């Protein structure tokens, strides 16, 4: 995932996602203790899952790196679904605050105040932007497409002051260092 997708995921959650051994315990609880269902979910044998969760110290084997990643993805897909849906609906209805550090400005003549440069920006963006961003993300849009959506929204809200000034200038938004979203 990219910075924008990661930022959106962090904003939708209220508690940290389980990692390590607690992630496997979460999957086991989610599948009602069935090692068979967890094995099918992760694409491994039932015996492998049994080795990961056994209480016997000599028989226990930790999951390898490729399996750890599969476990993390499976947990993330099942973590707080109702809270995610509620926070998404809230962002789409009320908007959100976008925090970023990136190269941002208008494509303007050199030495103008709007020349693209690295800026810290914290800006409220309306619910329409959230709807567009979520729709693009759901459709499989990449990081670049999501940056275009945010650049257009930030240009309108930050530089153009909601459409009151700086009409017709081209927005430059690149070199994204981080992206965080605050909902509600």
Please, where are the H alpha helices in the chain? 3-12, 21-30, 35-42, 46-53, 65-78, 81-94, 127-138, 143-154
Q: Say what the pLDDT of residue 107 is.
A: 65
- Mean pLDDT over each residue of the chain, to the nearest integer: 87
pLDDT of amino acid 168 = 62
Half-sphere exposure of 118 (CA within 13 A, CB side): 5
> What digits encode the pLDDT tens for the residues 45-63?
999 999 998 888 777 788 8
Q: How confident is the model at residue 78 (pLDDT cuts 50, 70, 90)?
A: very high
- The confidence band for 84, taking pLDDT boundaries of 50, 70 and 90, is very high
Q: What is the mean pLDDT of residues 17-43?
A: 93
Residue with tokens 């849009």: 141
* 92 pLDDT more than 60: yes
How many beta carbons lie within 10 A of that of residue 50, not counting itself? 16
What is residue 70's predicted lDDT score, i.e. its pLDDT?
93
Which of the four pLDDT bands, split at 50, 70 and 90, describes residue 26? Answer: very high
Tell me the per-residue pLDDT of 96-152, one tens digit each, with 9 for 90 and over: 999 999 887 766 566 666 667 888 989 999 999 999 999 999 998 888 899 889 988
Q: Which residue has the higher pLDDT, 184 or 85?
A: 85
Residue 165 has pLDDT above 90, yes or no: no
CA angle 151, 119, 121 (to 5 degrees): 65
Evaluate whether 159 touches 152 at the Cβ level (below 8 Å): no
> Which residue did the predictor score with more confidence, 83 or 156?
83
């Amino acid at each position: 995932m990219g910075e924008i997708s990661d930022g959106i995921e962090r904003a939708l959650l209220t508690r940290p996602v389980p990692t390590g051994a607690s992630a496997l315990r979460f999957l086991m609880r989610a599948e009602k203790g069935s090692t068979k269902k967890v094995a099918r979910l992760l694409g491994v044998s039932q015996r492998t899952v049994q080795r990961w969760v056994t209480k016997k110290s000599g028989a226990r084997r930790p999951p390898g790196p490729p399996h750890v990643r599969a476990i993390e993805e499976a947990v993330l897909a099942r973590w707080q679904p109702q809270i995610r849906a509620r926070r998404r609906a809230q962002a789409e209805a009320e908007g959100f605050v976008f925090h970023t550090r990136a190269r941002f400005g208008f494509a303007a003549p050199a030495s103008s105040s709007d020349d693209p440069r690295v800026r810290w920006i914290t800006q409220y963006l309306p619910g329409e932007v959230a709807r567009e961003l979520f729709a693009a993300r759901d459709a499989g849009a990449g990081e670049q497409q999501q940056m275009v959506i945010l650049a257009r929204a930030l240009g309108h809200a930050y530089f153009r002051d909601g459409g009151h000034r700086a009409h017709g200038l081209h927005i430059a938004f690149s070199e994204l260092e981080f992206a965080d979203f605050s909902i509600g």
